[in-house]
Structure 1
Amino acid sequence: MEGSVIVDKTLEKLAEFWEIAQGWLLSPAAWSQFALLVVAYLVALYAAKKLRPLLEKLLTPALDAESYVARARRFVAMFLPLLLPLLAYAFTGIGESATRAMFGSGAVIAFGKRVFLFLAVRILVREIIKDPVMAVLGKYILVPVAGLYALGILDEVMAYLDGTVVPLGNLSFSVLFAIRFVLVAGAIFWLGRWSNDQSSQFIKAQDDMRPAMRELIAKTLEIGIFGIAFLLVMNIMGISLTSLAVLTGVIGVGLGFGLQKIASNFISGVILLLEGQATVGDYVELDGGEAGTIIKMTARATILETYDGRWIVVPNEDFITTRVVNYSDSGSANRYEAPFSVSYDTDINLVPDIIEKAVAKHPGVLNDPFPPDCELRGFGESGVDFAVEFWVEGIDDGRNKFTSDVLFLIWNALRDEGITIPYPQRVVELKTPLPTA
């Protein structure tokens, strides 16, 4: 029964459209409006062809420009594809005023104006919107709404959707309310994410702040922005926050029992950011054997990147409850040593000066806190054992191979001075003579 009603209404609407089309075809005023539509489009096409190169030149900054003005110019330049349909819409609006003044009607040209607006919305969704969520909302909601508006049946469809109620347990809502909620929530949370990205970039560019403080402020702003977005959505849609009291209580109970680990990790992450004992860029090693460079700190966990490119997700609680060795790859110097041996035939008094001068030539070796120091470590079975201690910025692995470079310098320096590096030698005593041939 309901299907037949929809079919009957559709047929009635098609018949109404056919009557309107017949009236337009037989009306001189309608033909004059069609002519004005064509003129408005041609004028818009000519104006867009002349204006677009000038606007592109005006709105295109230098490639390396990153100021706020440059970003704003790039943002406005994104909407240049809308120039033609918007100009056609504006010129058609002028033509509509003229036809209404002359003929007392402007239905045809008003329809053309709505079509130009539909084309602008279609270009906006297909060519300008790049965000995946907003693209889906535009494709399946915004474009159909613009199409219904162009056909002049938007109000009737909205009334039908508003009257279609969807029951959900003890709650019920109309289809129109659901569509509005999705649109409003999507737009507000997209704006919140964009604002969060911009504020995070601005905060992380403040080099005078500690990395941990930058992360903490960025996380606080993120929570605040999306909290405000949530409250805005609830307020705009007319949803009382008191109705969420039960849900809030359930979440509190869940945090107290089932989600206590998540709460513990979140609080541990806040403590880490406040204390700054481990932050992004530091090379750390935990009691459990996990080791790597901190590349990201989230509300729940810290992500380490190992030298072989693997990511290790470590709960924030482990940084608080276990022993953590921080090699401070983000700025503190570290000491390493490279062992070597020389032959017993060498004048060992000359070795320290030769090696220290050779190692000091390495661009990564520091003189502060201490310059390279060559020490005698002992008298081995095959040669005299030395080791040179040196300080560098960073970790001796991954991108840096300090010990390897230093060993090359030692080898070349000893070779240039004619000093040999011994290899193990053994004396074999035979108890019985070798058999003769």
Structure 2
Amino acid sequence: MDTDEIIGQGAVYFEQAWTFAKGWLLSPAAWTQFALLVVAYLAALLVTRKVLPVVEKLLTPPEEQDSYIARARRFVLVFTPLVLPLLAYAFTGIGESVTRSLFGSGEVIAFGKRVFMFLAARILVRDVISDPLMKVLGKYLLVPIAALYAIGLLDEVMLKLDETVVPLGNLSFSLLFLIRFVIVGGAIFWLGRWSNEQSSSFIKNQQEMRPAMRELVAKTAEIAIFGVAFLLLMNIMGISLTSLAVLTGAIGVGLGFGLQKIASNFISGIILLLEGQATVGDYVELDGGEAGTIVKMTARAAILETYDGKWIVVPNEDFITTRVVNYSDSGSANRYEAPFSVSYDTDINKVPAIIEKAVGDLDFVLSGGEHGELNPDCELRAFGDSGVDFAVEFWVNGIDDGKNKFTPRVLFAIWNALKDNDIEIPYPRRVVELRDTRDQGTA
């Protein structure tokens, strides 16, 4: 094809396009649709400005309220940015009905209506959704689908995706099925996670239940919720569980050995929750040296928080197979000791009474008991190199955070008591012998 033919063919296409555009521009139906589209948007904008402040005022609860009704009101309040595009979509739908009844066509206003739906989807992903998983699904699936719907290509693309089949052994599925599975699965499991958070919050607020029982009920509810979510997803997508038996059996055999530890930790976690020997809030120390307060117990491990703010993840199996020291049940009494020394020039028979009185006067030190076993007890421990070694044992409620909460105050009391009674606290003394080796060198 030479240059003249190309130019001629282009002129024909241009003339056809110009004829179509001129007919559209001079068409009363097209201008009517465009005018109704503008009117629908302006009406939606006016209604939104008038009604939305009233709705937001009614839905906004006082900050101090945290009831379920208040939470529901805050949840609905999040969707207020969608009011304008959805109202414009609804008003445009009314205009489309009018133009189709008058002129028998409504392509222009229908296109505008689809654009408003695209804007609603974009606002939903950008301003409303906060969950990371749903935000990704919305950004890469919902918004592109809404864009295809707006330009009128959604049906053709869906047909093409449905015709594209992906084989997987004895199973096969289309790309359209895969996209639907991802969208529906993401929505269902997001709803399941939200339901799990709500149920877990409700269960953990039941203070009449033991902490271990609360954790066990919360874990049971979590398993039940996600199990129901999985079965619901399979039912919605029309997948027979028997068709997955071969695939899941092969995967189970392959992963069984690798998941032994996970299964062991899961069972160990259930045993811990049933027995209640270690639960959230307890300060524990394991044989491996890990020590801290249990702040969370998951299906696989317990999370310990140390006094310097670090989190230690300890597998549940370690609580069953190793020795665990549980220091507290949130407020139980614990015994500590503070060592000190006095000079050999001291009458050591007076020291226990002085120290026991000084330590006993501290407000956080416990005393009493049936036989006075909670009273401070000062004991002679050894005759050291520089002085006589003592230690005072004392009881307190709670945990001494790494010997930095109670013990320093006890040592201050010991220091002041010894000074007030003119008792010397020894320190190492060394004798240095100097020898004159000059005579030996000249000999």
Q: TM-score, normalised by structure 2?
A: 0.83
Correspondence for 1:216 = 216
Correspondence for 1:6 = none
Partner amino acid, structure 2, of 1:204 = K
Partner amino acid, structure 2, of 1:234 = M
Change (3 A) 1:207 1:361: farther
Is 2:393 the partner of 1:389?
yes
Structure 1 residue runs of 5 or longer lacking an equivalent are: 1-14, 431-437
SS of 1:61's equivalent?
A: coil
Judge conservation of contact 1:188–1:233 (CA < 8 Å) in 2: yes
- Displacement of 1:213 in angstroms is 1.7
- Displacement of 1:366 in angstroms is 3.3
Change (3 A) 1:376 1:262: closer
Q: Deviations over 1:131-188 (max 9, x none)?
A: 2221121112111221222223322322222122223344322221111111111111
Partner amino acid, structure 2, of 1:131 = D
Judge conservation of contact 2:281–2:329 (CA < 8 Å) in 1: yes
Correspondence for 2:441 = none
The 1-side partners of 2:313 and 2:399 are apart by: 21
Q: Deviations over 1:39-92 (max 9, x none)?
A: 221222122222232233222223333221221121111111112112212222
The 1-side partners of 2:138 and 2:21 are apart by: 30
Correspondence for 2:246 = 246
Is 2:400 the partner of 1:403?
no
Partner amino acid, structure 2, of 1:289 = G
Q: Superposition pairs for residues 62-73 of structure 1, below 5 Å?
A: 62-73=62-73
SS of 1:64's equivalent?
A: coil
Structure 2 residue runs of 5 or longer lacking an equivalent are: 1-14, 435-443
- Displacement of 1:307 in angstroms is 4.1
The 1-side partners of 2:172 and 2:239 are apart by: 13
Correspondence for 1:156 = 156
Q: Superposition pairs for residues 227-266 of structure 1, below 5 Å?
A: 227-250=227-250, 253=253, 257-266=257-266
Judge conservation of contact 1:297–1:303 (CA < 8 Å) in 2: yes
Judge conservation of contact 1:359–1:372 (CA < 8 Å) in 2: no
Is 2:417 the partner of 1:413?
yes
Is 2:87 the partner of 1:83?
no
- Displacement of 1:38 in angstroms is 1.3
Which of the residues 371, 376, 380 maps onto 1:373? 376
- Displacement of 1:119 in angstroms is 0.8
Deviates more, 1:168-177 or 1:302-311: 302-311
Judge conservation of contact 2:366–2:395 (CA < 8 Å) in 1: yes
The 2-side partners of 1:295 and 1:269 are apart by: 14
Deviates more, 1:18-27 or 1:215-224: 18-27
Partner amino acid, structure 1, of 2:39 = V
Correspondence for 2:279 = 279
Correspondence for 1:34 = 34
Q: CA RMSD in A?
A: 3.4
The 2-side partners of 1:413 and 1:66 are apart by: 52
- Displacement of 1:336 in angstroms is 0.6
Correspondence for 2:289 = 289
The 2-side partners of 1:361 and 1:18 are apart by: 101
- Displacement of 1:385 in angstroms is 4.8
- Displacement of 1:326 in angstroms is 1.7
Change (3 A) 1:249 1:368: farther
Deviates more, 1:191-200 or 1:295-304: 295-304
Deviates more, 1:95-104 or 1:63-72: 95-104
Q: Deviations over 1:284-327 (max 9, x none)?
A: 22233333333332323333344454444333222222222221
Change (3 A) 1:100 1:124: same
- The number of residues matched between the two structures is 419
Judge conservation of contact 1:117–1:146 (CA < 8 Å) in 2: yes
Q: Deviations over 1:226-282 (max 9, x none)?
A: 111111111111111001222443455457644333322221221111111112232
The 1-side partners of 2:77 and 2:20 are apart by: 40
Judge conservation of contact 1:327–1:334 (CA < 8 Å) in 2: yes
Correspondence for 2:55 = 55
Correspondence for 2:12 = none
Change (3 A) 1:81 1:59: same
SS of 2:144's equivalent?
A: helix
Change (3 A) 1:93 1:249: closer
- What fraction of aligned residue pairs are identical, expressed as a percent? 77
SS of 1:47's equivalent?
A: helix
SS of 1:62's equivalent?
A: coil
Deviates more, 1:251-260 or 1:233-242: 251-260
The 1-side partners of 2:105 and 2:271 are apart by: 70
Correspondence for 2:9 = none
The 1-side partners of 2:204 and 2:16 are apart by: 61
